[in-house]
Amino acid sequence: MNIRVLRFMIRLIALVKFSDIYVLEYGLEVGILQSKSLSKKKLVRFIQLKIP
């Protein structure tokens, strides 16, 4: 396999994973602003559990 194709695939996978994490964080922030029921420590712990 061409090295350029391999690098492109790795970058694409990394981009998708980063965008999933960003969406998760954004969704949690919106939820917290609406309910304000989660503390900051719980939010950080929840994000850490969701990231593989």
pLDDT digit string (tens) for the chain, length 52 residues: 688 778 888 777 776 666 666 656 666 665 655 555 555 555 556 555 555 5
Give me the pLDDT at residue 1, please: 62
For helices 3-35 and 40-50, what crossing angle results, to 10°? 150
Give me the pLDDT at residue 10, please: 78
Give me the pLDDT at residue 4, please: 79
Give me the pLDDT at residue 49, please: 57
7/4 Cα distance (integer angstroms): 5
Tell me the two tokens of residue 26.
């954004």
Give me the pLDDT at residue 19, please: 60
